[in-house]
Structure formats: structure tokens, C-alpha cells
Chains A and B, each alone.
Chain A
Amino acid sequence: MEKIDENITEDTIEDVVIALQKPSLEQKALKKSKNTAMVNNIITAVLGIVALFYVYPIFMIIINSLKQESAISTNTAFNLPTAATFAGLANYVHGVTQMDFLSSFGYSLFITISSVVLIILCCSMCAWYISRVDSVLSKVMYYLCIFSMVVPFQMVMFTLAKTADTLKLNTPFNICIIYLGFGAGLAVFMFTGFMKSMPIEVEEAAMIDGYSPLQMFFKVVMPITKPTTISTAILETMWVWNDYLLPTLVLDIKKYRTIPMDIQYFRGSYGSVQMAPMMACIVITIIPVILLYLFCQKYIIEGVVAGAVKG
């Protein structure tokens, strides 16, 4: 996923989220029509077929990951495995062991979690400062963040890799600082947009109760910003988890690889293009993401909406 840019509109997130769940009167009006039921059934059927095409590519990968390497060629990708070509879980074992896939999985997981946590924490604090303090620093930070969202990664890829290398930020354990730096724009932008619309009275009351700014931030502000936190976290997670070029250039490739790098490495790093284990690893990569999505669907979709409408 590319980083996603936002716009400012006047709506608040709550409005949209409520609107998402509340069937509108317009729909009720439509229901009145007699033909509507039949038309809707036809639409359901058509969309059902489209949905099958939508999941087919994933299904195809799973099928092929169970075939023997020699049975995979350009014109047989649609065939189901037969008794002769069925490879069972051999590709999974092979892919996982040869590429040291589990450690890549671990690195990817660690990088994603640490980066997202760091981004959320630092950027929400920064955004609160920007939205509550009217200073040159605030303005400069805010406009720099907007600016950084437009800049394509190719613009900084070489110099960023070199900077990270010089500062030794080239391991999965501290690459989160790079991600914080490059991903700050979006997060600060989203948080600032939300916080500016938050009523300041609550905070002022807390101030009178003797809260310090830090206490106030963690006890008062953070709970209110929960929706934005979730949507930002989702957007950043999708970006970091799937990112290919940044870790390829920044990480110390002698020791560490992330999942997208591993997938790319199946193309010929060991003297061969290994389609079957590659597909097995793709399946291992996709399944947890899809499971996570199915469980957190509500938040993810609300997050997307909030991230798009607000900002």
C-alpha cells in the first residue's frame, strides 16, 4: 500500500460512523417500490458472481501451493492438483526452511508492531501540541508533514538508506525510527485534524483539576482520540507490513529479511525460480492478514472511512 493522503472537510468522524450504521430514509423509500425486491435479488446474484471472481486469485494460489514444482507452468495454473501432482505440504516445509521464512515473518511482525506503536505514540503527542499551541514550531511541523506526504519514496531512497546506515538504524529493532520519520506526515496530519475539532473545555477543566500536560494527554486526550488512533494504526500497519523497497534498501540484508523481500528472493536467488514454495509462502503471508481482517473488520472499515473523510 502506498501511503495515503487526506483532505480536510468539515464533517466529524462520529457523523460518518453513525451514518454508516444507520440505514437512511432514502433506502426505506426505495423499499416501497414493488420491483425493488426482485431487482435487489438480481443484484445480489450478480455481485455474488463478481465476489467469486474476487476471491478466485487467492483460491488459485492455495491450489498451486499444493502442487509439485514440475506441475506448475504457465498454462496449468488453473488445474486442480491430481494424485500425481499433489505435493501435500512439502512446498510449505521447503519454503519455510530454505528461506528461513519464520524469522522473516518474525522480523516483519516485530517491525510492524514497533513502528506502528512508535508512530501512534509520538505522532499523537506531536499533533496535540500542534493543535493546542499556536507557535512557529507548530506551523512548521504541520506544513512539513503535509509536504512529506506528497514526496515519493524514490526521491529519498538513496539518501535515506545511507543516513540509516550511518546511524546504524539498519536492524529490525530500530528501523522503527526510520518508519516514524517517513510515516510521521500522515499520522500527524490525521491526529491534528481530529484534535482541532475536539472541544477544548474538557482539557481546560482537567487543567484546573491540577493535571499536568502529560497526565492530561494520556488520561484525557488519548481516550477521546481512540477512533483516529485505530484508523491511523490500520493505515500504518498496512503500509509497513507490505512495504518492500524501504526495508530492502535500509535493512542489513546479510542478516535480516522481511516477508516481501523473501517473496522477491524466490525469484532466482538460489539459481532457480521456485514457484511452488513461493506460493506456499504467499499463502502463509496472506492467511494471518485475512484472519485479522475478518476479526477486526468493523474497526478497519471505520478506520478507512474516518481516515478518508477526516484528516
Chain B
Amino acid sequence: MKKKLISILMSTAMISSILTGCGSSTSASGTAAANTEAGNASETSETADAGAGKVYYLNFKPEADEAWQKLAKEYTEETGVPVTVVTAASGEYETTLQSEMAKSDAPTLFQVNGPVGLKNWADYCYDLSDSEIYKNLTSEDYALKNEDGGVAGVAYVIESYGIITNKALLEKAGYSTDDIKSFADLKKVAEDITARKDELGFAAFASTGMDSSSDWRFKTHLANLPIYFEYQDDGITSTEAIKGTYLDNYKNIFDLYINNSTCEPKELSAKTADDARNEFLDGKAVFYQNGSWEYSSLSEKYSDDELAMLPIYIGVGDEAKQGLCTGTENYWCVNAEASEDDINATLAFMNWCVTSDAGTKSMANDMGFTIPFKTAQESPNVFVQQDQANTEAGLTPVSWNFTTMPSEEWKNNLGSALTAYAAGTGSWDDVKAAFVDNWATEYSLANE
């Protein structure tokens, strides 16, 4: 009997020592981590008394990671509310979001890329109808509405993309941006540069990097153009089955990219967007398809006068009136399942980002964003300014229709097909199948 008692006592002691041993070290480390994370533990505890929550932002834009970390720290210093920013690797946002949302300490602030993305997370989006940030939007168009009319998300950045051009190099080749007003012009200039590649010492296009971290430039952004023109023709804003009317034009521009580039098409599968940026920065290429978010890294090397962004001409529609591709796929959503304190803290943080001096400055200058809020600061971003000038000059911006692509899976398939086509291991018919047939398949899968 005595032995039994001892054994039970021993076991309880042992188990509790395992559990508490780990438990106590956790809490110790937890606060230690909080110290470094939030920057100041004392303020955290003060505000904890006041019942304030915390913010966990799962950021989509890797290029803005540093700026967000800095801004979060500033906010914590100012208000004492801990803000954690975690950035998902490029192309891994959905994966990270899925695993993080399943946790008890889930992100309080996340983003969806538009109506298609919203469908998956609609149940988890807090209704922003009464929030300050929603009221600060410059236009209703920038709010993402639920089927029942609730505001599920607000756009926090408006961006433009096109063909970023090194004006100085273009001049060296004997042209100026005024010479390029259509796909035919672009083709002529690019092919002329390729013909004189050795003499000039640079290529027309930076490498069309198709590494899975970077192929979004082509499977998503470039693919927007044939979709946009097809929607324009049919007068629709989304579809369950794409026809692929302008796929030949898509092929032409993609061919132009890969055949007039700094490297062999075969090597593109291992090239990344960074390689392309580095080539552009090193003056090895005149053109580089990307967006206004690149400004902060490009402006370290080039002055505003040396940079321009051309519309992506694919030889469809009234090219003289075509502007840059401008829109958003970045909608902030607040996790409805977070505690009320956390939701309030998150709403306050979002509002602070787009209204306070520090927030708007950081978003305009460090991240190079144009934000659709009344309190926005003038962005020094030359590409953004160019988009505004274009619009004033009567050009029509190309809207972002890739948010209606049926799924991530569709994009990935298209990316693989494009990569194989570029390397010569796949045919254009595969790309067509990935574009047209798979659209219907994925659409029905996503909407069953």
C-alpha cells in the first residue's frame, strides 16, 4: 500500500514537473520574446491593464516587409499596443494563411486578393461597415463587399504595373519612349536592340524569371491583358469560362520577352524577379516588366528622370489610348474570430496606418504605395505620378482583372505551362489548355 502511494506521488510529481517545467520556461521565454518583439514590455503591461488587445498582421508583400516591421515598431512605441508583422514568402501567402488561421493565436489582420479570394475567407471577415478606415476610403469602389452587402475588406494600396524602362539606355539605342506607342513599335525597338546586342552591350528585356517565387509577373500580371480585353469585348467583369480570344496576342508579347532577353529561354525556369531587377539595375536590359512597388529599390540607383513605365501593349484595342495596368489585389480583412480587444486594436492600427502622419509617410515613401484614403500623402513614386499624368492626358488605365482568376491553382498551372513553353519542352497548346480549359475546371471546383 505504501509503495503504491509513493508511486502515485512520484508520478504526479514527475508529470507536473514535465508540464510545469516546460510551462514556466515558456512563460519566461514568452515575455522575453515579447520584449524584443514589441520593443517594450513595460508599456505592454500597462496597456494590458487597460484591456487593449494586440495586432498580428500577416503581410502579403515581401518587398515591404522591412517597412512594415519598422512601422509596427513605431506604433508600439507610440501606443504600447504590440504589433507583430509576419511576412509570408513570395507565392506562399495562402499556405501560410491557412496554417496560421487554424491556430488559436491567429492573424488578426490578413488580406484577400479580391472577390475570388474572399469566397474562401468570407466567414472569417469582420464586417468593416462601421469602421473608421472604411469611412476614410476615397471611393466605395475600393471596398470589398460580401454577398449580403457587408464590408469584408478595404483596399489599402493602389498599384500600377507596366514595362519599366531605362530611358538612358533606350536613348543610347537611338529611341525614346515617345517612339513606343503600340505593340508593333515595341517589337521593332526590342528586335532592333537584340540585333545590335553585342554592339550596345545590353539586351531589350530583363530575364523573364519563371522560378515559382517570381512567375506571378507573367502568369498573373501579363495574363491580365488578354483577360481584360476579352472582358471589355463581352462587357463583363468576370466569367465562368474564358474564351481566350486574345491568347495569340499573349503569345506574341511573351515571345517578344523571352526571345529578346538577357538570357537563353531555357534558363528562365531558375531565374527570379531579383535576377531581373539586378540585370535592370546593372544596365544590362532596357525593359523590365514590373510594377510601381519596384520604385524604392530602383530609385536607389536611378534618378526619376531615367525611369519611365510604358503600358504593356499587346496589339489589341485602341493602343493610343491604353494606359498602365492600375488597380489593387490587396484588401485588408480583419479576423472576425479574434477577441474583441484584438479586433479593436487591429482596427485602430489600420486606421493609424492610413491617417497618421507617420503611417501615411511610411506607406507613401518607404513602401511607395498610393493609398486610396482621404488622408493619403503625395507619393514620390515616379511610376504612380506617371499613371496619374496618363489618366489626366485621357488614357484609360487597364483594370486588374486577374483577381477574377478562378484559383491559385489555375495560376500555378499557367505558370508551369509558360515555363515549359519558354524552355521548348512544352507547346503553346499546353498554355492554351492551362488558360482556357483549366479555367472552367477550376471555376467549377471553386464554386461547387
Contact = CB atoms under 8 A, between A and B. Distances in A.
**Are A and B direct contacts in the complex by CB distance below 8 Å?**
yes
Contacts of A4: none
Nearest to A168: B26
Contact of A272 (B25, B64, B100, B274): B274
B26 A270 contact: no
B102 interface: yes
Given A270-B62, A271-B65, A161 B102 contact: yes
Interface string A241-272: 00000001100111110000000110111111
Interface residues of A, number: 37
Contact of B25 (A75, A173, A254): A173
A244 B91 CA distance: 19
A177 B21 CA distance: 11
A273 B213 contact: yes
26 contacts: A165-B104, A166-B104, A170-B103, A171-B30, A173-B22, A173-B25, A174-B26, A176-B22, A177-B18, A249-B99, A253-B96, A253-B100, A254-B86, A256-B33, A264-B89, A265-B89, A267-B213, A268-B89, A268-B213, A269-B62, A269-B65, A270-B87, A271-B61, A271-B274, A272-B274, A273-B214
A166 B106 CA distance: 12
Given A173-B26, A270-B65, A271-B62, A161 B99 contact: yes
Given A74-B267, A166-B104, A271-B63, 19 more contacts: A74-B270, A75-B267, A161-B99, A161-B102, A169-B22, A171-B29, A177-B18, A254-B56, A254-B86, A256-B33, A264-B89, A267-B213, A268-B89, A268-B213, A269-B62, A269-B87, A270-B65, A273-B211, A273-B274
B66 interface: yes
Interface of A: 70, 73-75, 118, 158, 161-162, 165-166, 168-174, 176-177, 212, 214, 248-249, 252-256, 264-265, 267-273
Contacts, number: 92
Nearest to A264: B89
Contacts of A158: 102
Contacts of B63: 271
A270 B102 contact: no
Interface in B165-222: 211, 213-214
A171 B29 CA distance: 9
A269 B133 CA distance: 28
Contacts of B99: 161, 248-249
Contacts of A118: 18
Question: Which 10 A-B pairs rank lowest in CB-CB distance, beginning with the nearest?
Answer: A174-B22, A271-B63, A268-B90, A271-B62, A268-B213, A272-B274, A269-B89, A173-B25, A268-B89, A255-B33
Interface in B53-96: 56, 61-66, 84, 86-92, 96
A169 B56 CA distance: 19
Nearest to B277: A272
B105 interface: yes
Contacts of B278: 70
